Structure 1
Amino acid sequence: MYKLSRCLVLSDICNLEKKLIFKTDRYVSRYNGSDGSDPIKTSQAKPYESISDYYAGKSVFVTGGTGFLGKVLIERLLFNCSDIESIYVLIRGKKGLKSENRLQQMLDVPVFDKLKALKPSALKKIIPIEGDITKPNLDIKTSDEQQLIDNVSVVFHSAATVRFIESFEDIMKINYEGTRKVMDLSKKMKNLQTFLYLSTSFSNANKLVIDEMIYPKPKAIDEVYSFIDNNGDNPKATEDFVNGYPNTYTLSKALCENYIEENHGTMKTIIVRPSIVAPVFKEPLPGWQDSWVAATATFSDIARGLTKVIYGGPNVICDMIPVDYVCNFIIVAGARGNPSDDVIVYNSCSSSSNPISWRRAADLYLKESLRHGKYELKPRQVELTTSKLKVDLLTLVLQTTPSFLADLWMRLKGESPKYLKMQERPVLLRDLLRFFTSTSYHIKSENSRKLIETLDERDKFLFPCDPRTIPWQTYMPLFCRGIQKYLLKPKH
């Protein structure tokens, strides 16, 4: 049910040039000025302005700041842009806690330790704005809204749900309606220079070749809400409705991009699309991660012996990018802005410049994992196949049967069984990621490369974001040690 049709594949690969030519009149202004000039190069015709100098004296507004990527974005802004005025962070009150309490919780993680030690006063620049992206007008107090309107120069909108199992209705409420509300607020800001939306490289995952452009709308928004009203979360109906998309999350992000293109008005707007976001590579804390998502959980499950077979092939590309590279790129893009009146799209990814396969990434992770301690279940090199029958058979032989026998032995000893229960989450995750682990995407990043090349050597050092500089043989062991330290937290 997840396999891309042969017709779709041939269409994507063979007709891409025709599509781009056909859409030239519509899309060329997104990348070129009216005189045909490249806006990225044109913006560098004036004397060089460092990234930190751009943010000096300016205030920014961040949504999604309490998430994994949001924390790193805030830390990097404060650490490398010392003269930034303020960072307003939209924070939802939770379980009786006010935004100030949630801010303290957000800061009470290791990724902020270096900032606390070397630049503690910078933390005072974070200003919590209590609100809720799912409520009318973001549920922001009038006085707080006026602060944002008067002071903000750059908006970083990254708030979204990435839970694939969330209901379609909730995904649309958070991702689509939330984006609409943040845009409405941003349009009121008196000094706004850039609105930057964080999307995903997989917003067009129904294609194998993904360019830095906004593709035609996959569904009319009225059609989407009519489907939700009439079908709820019927799995079969939803699968038919998304029509080539892996899930409702990726479809919602495509709809967001189309909404932004159609409604950004005079706002200078940028879309950054990261691929699979992975743990920190360099700064502020190598290996740091604070949530079980996508590749993080998959590689960990393989290394702990929980997953022994996944959908895919030996050469399927795992397009991932370290979170610090994504955040540095976002900061750079925000500083350089958009000289065009149309939306500029940047893909922050690795498949087109420094690809690594799921097989090699898993092997490097497993090799490092085996160097550290003993595991309750014996890990092994993961099996890959695109056949559902083979996946089911291998799962039965390599996972279910051994778990059943282990549980039987525990019962005979008078202990509570646990191994079959341990299999449930890894199997669910494997099936949720089936589309991504079995499909090789070629995600283009020419615009991103050009933008990175405008930086001087100092800014390239302070804001590393070029995927060509990632040595996977070094990064994957670091990835593994980070997960063990910050998520598994073994007791010594």
Structure 2
Amino acid sequence: MAIETKNVKLSPIQNFYSNQSIFITGGTGFLGKVLIEKLLRTCSDISCIYVLIRPKKGEEIEQRIEKILDDAVFERVKREVPKYRHKVVPMLGDCSKPDLGLSEADKNILISDVSIIFHVAATVRFDEKLRDAVAINIGGTKEILQISRKIKNLKCIIHVSTAYSNCNRKDVDEKFYKPPITGDDIIKLVSSLEDDKIDAITPTLLDNFPNTYAYTKCIAEQVVLQYGKDLPVGIYRPAIVISTYKEPLEGWIDNIYGPTGALAGGGAGLIRTMNVDKNCIAELIPADLTVNALIATAWNVANNKNEAAEPPIFNYYSTWNRAFTWSEYMNLAMKYGRRTPTTRSIWNYSVTLAKNPYYYRLLLLLLHFIPALIVDIGLLASGNKPRLLKAYRKLNKFAAVTAFFSTSTWNFSNNNIIALWNSLSSKDKELFFFSMNDFDWDDYMKKCIGGIRLYIFKEDASTIPEAKKRMARFDFYHQIVKCVVTIIGFLLLYKLSMFILSFGIIGGVSTISENVIEKSV
């Protein structure tokens, strides 16, 4: 049972978390790790963090949690709060199963001990099979809420959704929108059909939603509205979460999803073009600021529970007082990527953004597939296994499912998140900073590129001089290739123009001949 305490040395948010037991789903993911670390380090008086984990790739939950806590992201908390390890308790479970796959004993622990819940778990694969997306994103949300009703000392539940849960509309306010189908109905539907039948009707069900992720996250919000009645629940909608800015490490990242993957692929010389509208807004948010806002959101919901007719919704995105475009994002990435290249690159760093899908496909052919074909032929000839075409097919598939978000702009409102920021004490604003007003994107991108180099490519600063020499050689070769391609292009254009001209002359002669013949007759 949580014991209420008040420490004048602590901030209001720290006092809220003091002596509380927290349950987190999705704690093994990128955002979940940052959340756990921040809570342990900044709210060190918490009693316990229960983390829902399932066995994976032959590793039991104890092994998985040990591996997570050995990650570089936990180095700072190890120094500052060395006696934290016993507070992180793994619980065997699975969001896609009834009762989250929890044993009766673990379920009873949650019911009697937990007071704060962060439901972060979701399948974020855009091309996930509908059955799996429904089971995790919708079914898991329903199970969380049903278990929450039994918890004795519940203070709040925060359901982590996405700013793109209603991406089928251009204006997205901090409110509920009618879903395409209810959670209960879609669960019944997928449970009554075979996989091939579900696959066949998926495009019809999605309608104007771009993928199963956005579709199921939209329906999950309806589940919160339906099953969260009279519960202290709130919905947190972050935009595209990318590497940390300052905490606990600058530029920390552990995956190559979304925009991070584009930067890593570009830095490696692999990605040469992307289907992006450079003038569209890039709603990107650093992971550490995202987690700070999430932690503050729980405090707010607990303090204002049951005051509104519906659970509050918090849209957290980057455009507060200034928009940041994809063009700016890529230009800054290029700026710092070329200053600190990687020795892992296979070609120089140069990415062309293409808004028009036909132009993009042409660039794919010229910059990805033809070079890949040439390289793979060379690999085959030398007795090696071809692999570049296969890699580009995967990249192309990924690009196809993300283009919707890089070629569109939405109008989000964020009155609730602004009000939350303004309600924080000065100490909490310092401890849990999340304002995007006048955000320094230049400084952030410098740290972001450095983080990709260190945590994705596993290279420290000592390799930069060697990488610069390598990049200079690639730049030289690239210029030669451009010259050759340009010359070939001019030659082909010349041949084509001569053909057209000769065709026109022949046509003209034929016409004159026909006229002469007609007059003669």
Q: TM-score, normalised by structure 1?
A: 0.85
Q: 2:48 aligns with which of 86, 99, 111?
A: 86
Among 310, 318, 324, the alignment partner of 1:356 is 324
1:427 paired with 2:391, answer no
Aligned to 2:347: 377
**C-alpha distance 234-62 of structure 1, shift in aligned 2 (>3 A):** closer
Question: Is 1:100–2:70 an aligned residue pair?
Answer: no
Deviations 1:353-403 (A, max 9, x none): 442111210121122111224521222132222x32211111111221122
Q: Does 1:219 pair with 2:181?
A: yes
Deviation at 1:95, TM superposition (A): 4.3
Q: Which moved more, 1:95-104 or 1:259-268?
A: 95-104
2:334 alignment partner, one of 348, 361, 366: 366
Are the counterparts in 1 of residues 134 and 186 from structure 2 also a CA contact under 8 Å? no
1:439 alignment counterpart: 408
Deviations 1:98-121 (A, max 9, x none): 322221111110000011122110
Instruction: Measure how far apart 1:76 and its partner are.
Output: 0.4
Q: How does 1:268-279 map to 2 (within 5 A)?
A: 268-279=232-243
What is the deviation of 1:53? 1.0
Preserved CA contact (<8 Å) 2:130 2:198:
no
Q: Which amino acid aligns with 2:149?
A: K
User: In the alignment, which residue of structure 1 is the partner of 2:258?
Assistant: 294
Aligned partners of 1:223, 1:240: CA distance in 2, in Å? 15
Local SS of the residue matching 2:274: strand
Residue 252 in structure 1 maps to residue 252 in structure 2: no
Q: What is the rounded CA distance, in whole Å, between the counterparts of 1:373 and 1:73 in structure 2?
A: 30
Cα distance in 1 between the residues matched to 2:371 and 2:294:
46
Q: What is the distance in 2 between the residues matched to 1:135 and 1:406?
A: 46
Residue 224 of structure 1 and its aligned partner are, at CA, apart by 3.3
1:442-457 aligned at under 5 Å gives the runs: 442-457=411-426
Contact 2:135-2:187 at 8 Å conserved across structures: no
Query: How far does residue 302 in structure 1 lie from its aligned partner after superposition?
Result: 2.5
Which of the pair has the greater relative contact order for Cα pairs under 8 Å at 6+ separation? 1
Q: Matched residues in 1 for 2:342 and 2:11: separation?
A: 49
Residue matched to 2:363: 394
- Structure 1 window deviating more from structure 2 (457-466 vs 133-142): it is 133-142
Equivalent residues in 2 for 1:305-344 (5 A)? 305-337=269-301, 338-339=304-305, 340-341=307-308, 342-344=310-312
1:473 aligns with 2:442: yes
- Equivalent residues of 1:78, 1:123 under 8 A apart: no
Paired residues of 1:154 and 1:192 also in contact (CA < 8 A): yes
Q: Which residue of 1 aligns with 2:519?
A: none
Q: Output the amino acid matched with 1:489.
A: K
- Residue in structure 2 matched with residue 170 of structure 1 by the alignment: 132
After superposition, the Cα gap between the structure-2 partners of 1:207 and 1:351, relative to the gap in structure 1 and judged at 3 Å, is farther
Q: Counterpart of 1:361 in structure 2: which amino acid?
A: Y
**Is the partner of 2:252 in helix, strand or coil?**
coil
Secondary structure of the 1:270 match is strand
Q: Where in structure 1 are there 5+ consecutive unaligned residues?
A: 1-47
Q: Which aligned pairs between 1:63-78 and structure 2 lie closer than 5 A?
A: 63-78=25-40
Matched residue count? 444
Between the aligned partners of 2:453 and 2:11, the Cα distance in structure 1 is: 40
Consecutive unaligned residues of structure 2, counting only runs of 5 or more, are 1-9, 464-521
Partners of 2:162 and 2:236 within 8 A in 1: yes
2:448 maps to a residue whose letter is F
CA distance in 1, matches of 2:381, 2:109: 66
Partner of 1:34: none
> What amino acid is aligned across from residue 160 of structure 1 in structure 2?
A
Q: Which residue of 2 aligns with 1:458?
A: 427
Amino acid at match of 2:413: K
- The structure 1 segments of at least 4 consecutive aligned residues displaced by more than 6 Å after TM superposition are 233-236
Match of 2:164, SS state, is helix
Aligned to 2:157, the other structure's residue is in SS state strand
1:54: which partner in 2? 16
- How far residue 237 of structure 1 moved from its aligned partner, in angstroms, is 4.2
Shift of 1:223: 5.4
What's 1:262 paired with?
226
Give matches, 1:30-45, under 5 Å: none
- Asked if 2 retains the 8 angstrom alpha-carbon contact of 1:351 and 1:441, the reply is no
Structural RMSD (CA): 2.1
Distance 1:315 1:455 in 2: 34
CA contact (8 A) 2:293 2:432 kept: yes
- Counterparts of 1:149 and 1:440 in 2: how far apart (Å)? 42
SS of the residue 2:281 aligns to: coil
Work out whether 1:282 is the aligned partner of 2:246. yes
Q: Percent of pairs identical after alignment?
A: 32
Partner letter of residue 328 of structure 2?
R
Q: For residues 381-438 of structure 1, what are the alpha-carbon distances to aligned partners after superposition, in whole Å with 9 as ceiling and x for unaligned?
A: 32222x3221111111122112222333444455443332332222111111010011
After TM superposition, give the deviation of residue 86 of structure 1 in Å: 1.2
Please list the CA deviations of residues 18-70 of structure 1 after superposition, one character each: whole Å capped at 9, or x if unmatched: xxxxxxxxxxxxxxxxxxxxxxxxxxxxxx96211111111111111111110
| TM-score, length basis structure 2 | 0.81
Gap change, CA 1:233 and 1:352, over 3 Å in 2: farther
1:332 and 1:222 map into 2 onto residues whose CA distance is 31
Change (3 A) 1:130 1:412: closer
Contact 1:55–1:83 (Cα < 8 Å) also in 2 = yes
Q: Is 1:189 aligned with 2:159?
A: no
Shift of 1:336: 2.1
Q: Measure how far apart 1:352 and its partner are.
A: 4.5
Distance 1:239 1:310, change over 3 A: farther
